[in-house]
Amino acid sequence: MPSVLDASAAIRECRLDPASLVRDCIDSIKSTNQSLNAFGDLYEEAALEQAREMAREARVGRVRGPLHGVPFGIKDLFYTQGLRTTRGSLTALDFVPERDAPIIRRLKQAGGIILGKTATTEFGWTGASTSRVFGNGRTPWDPRLTSGGSSSGSAIAVAARMVPAALGSDGGGSVRIPSAFCGTFALKATLGRIPTWPWSATEMLSHAGPITRTVRDSALLFDVLSGPDALDHQALPAPQASYLAACEAPLVPLRVAYCRTLFDVAVDPQIAAAVDAAVSQMREELGVVVEEIHLDWQDPVRIFETLWAAGRGIAYGKTLADRLDLLDPGFARLIEGAGRFDLEQYLDASRARAQFSNQVQQLFEGYDLLLLPTLPVLPFSADAVAPPGFERPDSLVPWAAWTPFTYPFNITGNPAASIPCGVSREGLPIGLQVVGARHQEGAVFNLCAHLEAINPWEQRIPDL
């Protein structure tokens, strides 16, 4: 399966037939999807018809954009005009949007082909990969284990070579969690970098973006997908420089901080060793000056729980209160428990969010980037919602207990990427998180591209 950049170049130069690429993707999906649960709806004939048309256009020198003829998986949360969008819920199996989300419109305008919808947890509510609609998501490296969520299907599809890339979203870690468990690259950018629509009850936390096998593929997609849109009042101005160019530029001198953990959370020794090794390699082979630090931040989990549970629970509770039996049990509990929050608590959480964000931004007055593990745990059973020792049955957001390094940067809006940095004894991927100052995606891409060059992951392929 070629990368997005390789496929795009080969199609433009008529060295690769997009219809052949689509057929290869379909064959890959059909051979492995049943055991991994990455895809829901698959648009075989429509995708092949588009691919044939784009092949004809390429032969006469007409190219729609930098993604001309490249097939993609689309997380089944994004609105797609005329195509069912289940949002991972039995309550929305018949929902067909009347217009595309901005990210979908831009993908199409750049020549991308929608091959199918990828699995998501119910309304993207959890970091696990359980699903009543798609089946529980499983990492291609060991199908007994979870892929992580909520962009479970997109990470599985990319890691298993079903598609060159896929789109996901991240409200508390939902592209970084499955990327760490599946061995893919994902960047949750600064809030508003890629426009989101429709409105979300947790819009202050919600980000959209790609999941890819390489850093440069992600940068290309950010170049295509970023920029303002009238539908998103939080959308940022267009970037002043290309992110792909940032990947190809020499390594920029950086002030880098390394924190082994946050909030005194115990990190699995294998993860700690892999991240340590990656940081040492960065120092030795790239000459990056890295300072190890300890951060005395207070865990903002109560802030996150209030914003997440009150926002989603109350919003969805208005329409689903009489259909709780159809919902994921954890999501049903969230809806039932959301009523315990009052306006004063919500405003207090919003104020605390601003204070925590200010504290995090102070770190980036002295450093350009922060390094830490993406997750403190390795993949656990695909049928579980938490690894042993991290269960929080009393919480409305129980998955936050084992994702303490991802959701803080949704609260603050900082760009944060997960890049594979090593493997466990069992061959499971381990993710390194690279966090930048707000609006500094270019610095994150620059370092990640150089890290990938000395520690390439593309050559690692799960035994399917």
Q: Which residues are catalytic?
A: 75, 150, 174
> Residue 235 gets which letter from DSSP?
P
CB atoms within 10 A of CB 344: 8
Q: CB-side exposure of 228: number of CA atoms within 13 Å?
A: 7
> With the C-alpha atoms ordered 224, 228, 231, 235, is the resulting torsion angle positive or negative?
positive
CA atoms within 13 A on the CB side of 264: 2
Q: Give how far Cα 122 sits from Cα of 9, 284, 438, 459, Å.
A: 37, 44, 29, 33
Sole residue written with tokens 């060991």: 142
- Neighbour count for residue 361 (Cβ, 10 Å): 14
Q: Is 287 left (phi over 0), alpha (psi -120 to 50) or beta?
A: left
d(CA 330, CA 16): 46
Given a contact cutoff of 8 angstroms between Cβ atoms, the answer to whether 153 and 134 are in contact is: yes
> Which of 290, 284, 235 is CA-nearest to residue 258?
290
C-beta separation of 396 from 334 below 8 A: yes
Cβ within 8 Å of residue 26, ≥6 positions away: 42, 44, 47, 115
- CA nearest neighbour of 162 among 16, 2, 47, 50: 2
Rounded CA-CA distance 17/26 in Å is: 14
Burial of 114 (0-12, 13-18, 19+ CB in 10 A): buried
Dihedral (Cα; 49, 52, 57, 61), 10-degree rounding: 150
User: If DSSP codes are grouped into helix, strand and coil, which group holds residue 423?
Assistant: strand
**Residues 6+ positions from 220 with CB-CB distance below 8 Å:** 4, 5, 8, 66, 243, 244
Amino acid type, 2 = P
> Residue 242 corresponds to which tokens in the numbers above?
């290309």
CA-CA distance, 367 to 290, in Å (whole number)?
Answer: 10
SS3 label, residue 364: coil
